[in-house]
Amino acid sequence: MNKRLLHSVLFFLLFTATFFAQTIEVCNSCEISTISQAVEKAKPFDTIKIKKGTYKEYNIGITKPLIIIGEGNPVIDGDNKGEIITIQSDNVTIYGLTIVNVGTSYTTDYAAIRVVKSENFLVQNNTLERLFFGIYLEKSNHGKVLNNTIKGDAVNEYNSGNGIQLWHCNNVEVTNNRIRNVRDGIYLEFSDQIEIKNNKSTDNLRYGLHFMFSNNDTYTNNLFENNGAGVAVMFSKFIKMYDNVFRKNWGTASFGLLLKEINDSEIKGNIFEENTVGINIEGSNRIDYTHNDFKSNGWAIKVRGACYANTFSKNNFLYNSFDISYNSNINDNVFDKNYWSNYTGYDLNKNGIGDVPYRPVKLFSYIVNRTPETIILLRSLFIDIIDFSEKVSPVFTPDNLMDNNPLLKPIDHD
Amino acid sequence: MIEIDDLHKKFGKNEVLKGIDLTIDNGGIFAVLGPNGSGKTTLIKSILGMIVPNSGTIKLNGTSIKKSWEYRNDIDYLPQIANFPGNLTVKELIKMIKDLRSTKQANDERLIELFKLQPFLDKKLNNLSGGTKQKVNLVLTFMFDSPLVILDEPTTGLDPISHIRLKELITAEKEKGKTILITSHIMSFVEEIADEIVFLLEGKIYFRGSIPELKTKTEQPDFEHAIASMLSSSYA
Amino acid sequence: MLKILKYSFFDLMRSRWSYVYFLFYLLLGVMLLFLNNDLSKAVITLMNVIIVLVPLIGTIFGVMYYYNSKEFTELLLAQPVKRSSIFLGQYFGVALSLSMSLIIGLGLPFVFYGIFNSGAIWDFSLLLVTGAFLTLIFTALAFVIALANENKIKGFGYAILLWLFMAVIYDGIFLMSLVYFEEYPLDKFSLVATVMNPVDLSRVLILLKLDISALLGYTGAVFQKFFGTSFGFILSSLMLTLWVIVPTYFIQRMAKRKDF
């Protein structure tokens, strides 16, 4: 309730401010032909309209509340000289700009748009190309990053930046952005209460979305495709991950989702499809995995190291090369009422639940963990035979790891 | 004309033919005789190219048969055991063998009539008795008009009437001036039809000549005894 | 040769065993599809069947046909036909009729199920093509074994052994050596070992379609090149072809020298 009140007050302030404000136009042939000039000239709460054209500018510092709107796709070309726009004031809006050629540096993280210690910012409908960092939010709260297109040309991790970066931020909404070919699509560090929705983060060098030391964040309905790894959540707590799609994250160290030292989170309604590893879990506890689809992954779930009190229920495991892999034979996690397409049991009492428990960890996955080259023997008859004997009397795999109520039909999640 | 020169054949350690020299002129019936394992079938199969000799040459009308197969157009062969692809019918089999020959002319109709095979034409070969199969075998052999005919145990499994028909057939072929090679265990049959005997023993030609010559040589009044005496003297 | 092929083929097409084989696949296809109602799962199960069963049936059938048609072969040998044509004709006759039983037997249920409107069509066609290749390879190997062994029982024994070796034992030894030498770089070894066994080769060919996500999880550069590009697919197909050509060459060579 408080938050809402705050929002309306802010909106009112903004609205009244805009009402009394002036509009400054910038174009190549206008009296004011550069953005820097316009910014300097403008009074707080003015609107700057940038007309169609190319503006060779960088280091545009904004230190007062302004609304900057691009009309007809104006292009700001930084000529690889450094940072383009730096915002150091509350209530700044950047709308409809195309920013290209951000400078690359090994010492300074140049961004196309940087927001520093500011509140109520809005970065919307911008296109960023040939960049180092895209949108860099630094100790800034209560802002929105909407509908931006970020297209990098990252080749190496060491000299490329992130699409959208949040550092020490709170209550920011990141919605409807399309991010491609950067290092991390979206990167969060020490940022809480962030909401990430409907973004498409694809073809990135490292992660589609990356959490570090960030808590109470939510991401929903995003698509992560063909990244080095889809999403990495590390050293974080209380993250909600709903209805996302993780696809085709292929490669030797590729995951749909990487969980490392994360606790008390919820993973629900996601689709993991054709990833080398659907979810890679290390040292993560008390996480609920429900209603997810794991389809045609190399490994649906790989559990490494200590993971306790996690629950996997009502998920569909469909045609994965391996359903679950463990690197130890101790298990403290619960698997219940999932559908496993590899299940071969029967249901005599016709209650839809298989009468024989399902063991999702195969001996072969243990062997492959040890000697990766053995993967070439996948689905060989010999492997089926040793898997079967391990199933009958488990030695290398956790013997209490089983789904006692494997479903006979895939779950319809609706 | 068949010319065989110093023919040797070993099966593993077992030397079956130890230098056969044999010339058979055109025309007449020649019986190749000998005890079991003497190399009769091996000799015949060598002529047919089914067995590859270790050394020696075989010439048919002056040309070597080595690595050639076309010469078999001029040979009709009756194998010892007649087993055919079971799922073909008699008709299809005859058609197929005709198909394989370059000479398309064949008097199969007459032979089918002769051996009364009409009721079996549409039956599968699997369902025929041994005797009927042998009749089919005979039809396949005699339906072409080749100058050389080789018969390996032709009388096996035949009823008396067919036996007589076969004899008539062989004689008729001889009348046409063909060369006929026969192996048989039935001495009366051989005596009746053979012009000349080639007697094989332990891989060599032990005797070659007409039946009267054989009788004179062994001083035995009848053919069967002559053969027997040859065997016992060789084993003595 | 084509004449012999034709007659062998017709002979087999009328044999009870061809029907049994055909019906088996028909039934398998129907069961997999209509009881399970899951195309992707059916394709995976099918792969296991094809990898294991097709070679077994190919070898047994090949050996059986060779011994059963021995007298017929002799009949043909006395005819004006080239020797190698007889055996190659018979071999292709058997392999062709087996492949057709497989392709039609499995194809029919899948076509009725609507494979043409499904994304699994390529996986499925690849399965059938691989199955046909395996039939060709193992029938050829069976003919080589049969040509080398006059003794029927021995021939059958060797044929079964060959299958057991290729389908199971080989992979066992393969796995042991991989685990035993795990400190050494093994990608080249494992690729070579795969290529040396047609069963493994076809398995990998299908894996390239079904399990590519898992295969890409391995770090080795050679693997990466093999699995990550079309190189693997092309090489596997070439090697499979070679696996048909080499035993076929042996059939021809042995047929030339053999006595009957």
Three-state secondary structure along C183-239? CCCCHHHHHHHHHCCHHHHHHHHHHHHHCHHHHCCCCCHHHHHHHHCHHHHHHHHHH
Report the distance separating Cα C48 and Cα A296, nearest Å: 17
Residues of C in contact with A254 (CB under 8 A): 216-217
Rounded mean pLDDT, C101-123: 83
Residue B226 pLDDT > 90:
no
**Kind of pairing, strands B55-60 and B63-64?**
antiparallel
| Contact indicator for B196, B209 with CB cutoff of 8 Å | yes
In a 13 Å sphere around the CA of C48, the CA atoms on its Cβ side amount to 15
Ranges A23-27, B81-85, B207-211, C61-65: which has the least confidence = B81-85
Rounded mean pLDDT, B124-149: 84
Confidence of residue A249 (pLDDT cuts 50, 70, 90): confident
Structural domain for B67, as ranges: 2-79+146-235
Confidence of residue A17 (pLDDT cuts 50, 70, 90): low
The structure tokens listed for B190 are 């051989």
Looking at the complex, does the CB of residue A280 fall below 8 Å from at least one CB of chain C?
no
| Contact indicator for B49, C77 with CB cutoff of 8 Å | yes
Rounded mean pLDDT, A174-185: 94
| Contact indicator for B73, B114 with CB cutoff of 8 Å | no
% of chain A beyond a pLDDT of 70 = 96
Residues of C in contact with A382 (CB under 8 A): 168-169, 171-172, 175
How many angstroms separate the CA of residue C32 from the nearest CA in chain A? Answer: 13
Task: Quote the pTM value.
Answer: 0.80
Q: Is A311 exposed, middle or buried (0-12, 13-18, 19+ CB in 10 A)?
A: middle
How many angstroms separate the CA of residue A384 from the nearest CA in chain C? Answer: 10
Nearest Cβ partner for C175 among A275, A298, A382: A382
Whether B128 is covered by a domain: the verdict is no
**Kind of pairing, strands B2-11 and B14-24?**
antiparallel
What CATH code is carried by the domain that includes residue A89?
A: 2.160.20.10
Confidence of residue B193 (pLDDT cuts 50, 70, 90): confident
Quote the pLDDT of residue A10: 65
Rounded mean pLDDT, B188-192: 83
Q: Which residue has the higher pLDDT, A149 or B38?
A: A149
Confidence of residue C219 (pLDDT cuts 50, 70, 90): low
What CATH code is carried by the domain that includes residue B50?
A: 3.40.50.300
Report the distance separating Cα B6 and Cα B19, nearest Å: 4
Report angle CA B55, B60, B64 to the nearest 5 degrees: 45
Contact A382 C171 (CB under 8 A): yes
Whether A143 is covered by a domain: the verdict is yes
In angstroms, what CA-CA distances link A79 with A57, A76, A102? 8, 9, 7
Question: Considering its fold, how many domains does chain B have in total?
Answer: 1
Report the distance separating Cα C103 and Cα A78, nearest Å: 63
The structure tokens listed for A6 are 């705050």
| Contact indicator for C85, C251 with CB cutoff of 8 Å | no
Looking at the complex, does the CB of residue C120 fall below 8 Å from at least one CB of chain A?
no
Q: What is the dihedral of CA A205, A207, A213, A214, to 10 degrees?
A: 130
| Contact indicator for A334, A313 with CB cutoff of 8 Å | yes
- Across the strands, what pairs with A62? A87
Q: What is the dihedral of CA A264, A265, A266, A270, to 10 degrees?
A: -150
Contact C83 B97 (CB under 8 A): no
Residue B161 pLDDT > 90:
no
Closest C-alpha to A341, from A384, A300, A311, A281: A300
Helix (H) or strand (E) holding A36: helix A35-41
Q: Given the structure tokens 């299908």, which residue do they identify?
A: C206
Nearest Cβ partner for C214 among A298, A367, A385: A298
Contact A381 C47 (CB under 8 A): no
Contact C75 B87 (CB under 8 A): no
Report the distance separating Cα C260 and Cα B44, nearest Å: 11
| Most confident option among A90-94, A325-329, A410-414, B75-79 | A90-94
Neighbours of A43 (CB within 10 A): 12
Report the distance separating Cα B92 and Cα C57, nearest Å: 28
Whether A382 is covered by a domain: the verdict is no
| Contact indicator for B84, B133 with CB cutoff of 8 Å | yes
**Kind of pairing, strands A266-268 and A288-290?**
parallel
- Across the strands, what pairs with A95? A69, A124
Ranges A191-195, A407-411, B110-114, C246-250: which has the least confidence = B110-114
Report angle CA B219, B220, B226 to the nearest 5 degrees: 110
Angle between helices C2-13 and C16-30 (to 10 degrees): 70
In angstroms, what CA-CA distances link A321 with A121, A296, A299, C162? 46, 7, 6, 28
Residue C47 pLDDT > 90:
no
How many angstroms separate the CA of residue B91 from the nearest CA in chain C? Answer: 13
Rounded mean pLDDT, B5-19: 83
Whether B89 is covered by a domain: the verdict is no
- Answer whether C touches A (≥3 Cβ pairs < 8 Å): yes
Per-residue DSSP letter, B71:
G
| Contact indicator for B190, B32 with CB cutoff of 8 Å | no
Q: Which residue has the higher pLDDT, C57 or C221?
A: C57
Across chain C, mean pLDDT equals 85
Looking at the complex, does the CB of residue A290 fall below 8 Å from at least one CB of chain C?
no
Residue C156 pLDDT > 50:
yes
Q: Given the structure tokens 């609920």, which residue do they identify?
A: A288
Confidence of residue C184 (pLDDT cuts 50, 70, 90): confident
Residues of B in contact with C68 (CB under 8 A): 86
Nearest Cβ partner for A377 among C169, C175, C216: C175
Q: Which residue has the higher pLDDT, B179 or B88?
A: B179
Residues 6+ apart with CB under 8 A from B149: B75, B76, B77, B78, B141, B142, B170, B173, B178, B179, B180, B181
Confidence of residue B86 (pLDDT cuts 50, 70, 90): confident
Contact A381 C215 (CB under 8 A): no
Closest C-alpha to A318, from A298, A337, A294, A334: A294
Whether B66 is covered by a domain: the verdict is yes
Residue type at position C188: K
Confidence of residue C214 (pLDDT cuts 50, 70, 90): confident
Interface residues on C facing B, Cβ-Cβ cutoff 8 A: 3, 7-8, 10-12, 14-15, 68-72, 74-83, 257-260
Q: Which residue has the higher pLDDT, A307 or B233?
A: A307
Whether A390 is covered by a domain: the verdict is no
- Across the strands, what pairs with A189? A167, A212
Report the distance separating Cα A375 and Cα A215, nearest Å: 37
Quote the pLDDT of residue C45: 83
Q: Is A12 exposed, middle or buried (0-12, 13-18, 19+ CB in 10 A)?
A: exposed
Structural domain for A283, as ranges: 17-324+333-340
Domain residue ranges in chain C: 2-257
Rounded mean pLDDT, A390-403: 83
Output the DSSP codes for A189-218. ES-BS-EEES-EEES-SSEEEEEES-BS-E
Rounded mean pLDDT, B4-23: 83
| Most confident option among A23-37, B8-22, C8-22 | A23-37
- Across the strands, what pairs with B7? B20
Q: Which of residues 166-195 of C touch A (CB under 8 A)?
A: 167-169, 171-172, 174-175, 178-179, 182, 186-187, 189-191, 194
* R_g of chain C, CA atoms, integer Å: 20
Whether B131 is covered by a domain: the verdict is no
Whether B193 is covered by a domain: the verdict is yes
Residue B108 pLDDT > 90:
no
Rounded mean pLDDT, A10-19: 62
| Contact indicator for A312, A289 with CB cutoff of 8 Å | yes
Whether A293 is covered by a domain: the verdict is yes
How many angstroms separate the CA of residue C175 from the nearest CA in chain A? Answer: 7
The structure tokens listed for C224 are 């990466």
Question: Considering its fold, how many domains does chain A have in total?
Answer: 1
Report the distance separating Cα B203 and Cα B8, nearest Å: 9
Residue type at position C98: L
Residues of B in contact with C82 (CB under 8 A): 69
Whether B115 is covered by a domain: the verdict is no
Cα torsion A305, A310, A311, A317: sign: negative
In the sheet where A322-326 sits, what is the strand order? A60-62, A85-87, A111-116, A133-138, A164-167, A186-189, A207-212, A229-237, A257-263, A277-282, A299-304, A322-326
Ranges A86-95, C5-14, C133-142: which has the least confidence = C5-14
% of chain C beyond a pLDDT of 70 = 97
Residue C110 pLDDT > 80:
yes
Three-state secondary structure along chain C? CHHHHHHHHHHHHCCHHHHHHHHHHHHHHHHHHHHHCCHHHHHHHHHHHHHHHHHHHHHHHHHHHHHHCHHHHHHHHCCCCCHHHHHHHHHHHHHHHHHHHHHHHHHHHHHHHCHHHCCCHHHHHHHHHHHHHHHHHHHHHHHHHHHHCCCHHHHHHHHHHHHHHHHHHHHHHHHHHHHHCCCCCCHHHHHHHHHCCHHHHHHHHHHHHHCHHHHCCCCCHHHHHHHHCHHHHHHHHHHHHHHHHHHHHHHHHHHHHCCC
| Contact indicator for A59, A82 with CB cutoff of 8 Å | yes
**Kind of pairing, strands A164-167 and A133-138?**
parallel
Confidence of residue C146 (pLDDT cuts 50, 70, 90): very high
In angstroms, what CA-CA distances link B223 with B34, B174, B229? 13, 22, 10
Contact C217 A296 (CB under 8 A): no
Quote the pLDDT of residue C123: 81
Whether A211 is covered by a domain: the verdict is yes
pLDDT single digits (tens) A260-283: 999 999 999 999 998 989 999 999
First to last CA, chain C: 19
Contact C218 A375 (CB under 8 A): yes
pLDDT single digits (tens) B25-55: 888 888 888 887 788 888 888 888 888 888 8
Contact C220 A373 (CB under 8 A): yes
Residues 6+ apart with CB under 8 A from C122: C209
Whether A386 is covered by a domain: the verdict is no
Q: Which residue has the higher pLDDT, B218 or A177?
A: A177
Nearest Cβ partner for C44 among A276, A319, A377: A319
Residue C35 pLDDT > 80:
no
Residue A127 pLDDT > 80:
yes
Per-residue DSSP letter, B125:
G
Report the distance separating Cα B67 and Cα C82, nearest Å: 9
Whether A345 is covered by a domain: the verdict is no
pLDDT single digits (tens) C223-249: 777 777 788 888 888 999 999 999 999
Whether A396 is covered by a domain: the verdict is no
Ranges A169-183, C123-137, C179-193: which has the least confidence = C179-193
Quote the ipTM score: 0.85
Taking phi over 0 as left and psi of -120 to 50 as alpha, with beta for the rest, C57 belongs to: alpha
| Most confident option among A94-108, A164-178, C41-55 | A164-178
Report the distance separating Cα A243 and Cα A277, nearest Å: 18
Residue B87 pLDDT > 80:
no
Residue B236 pLDDT > 50:
no
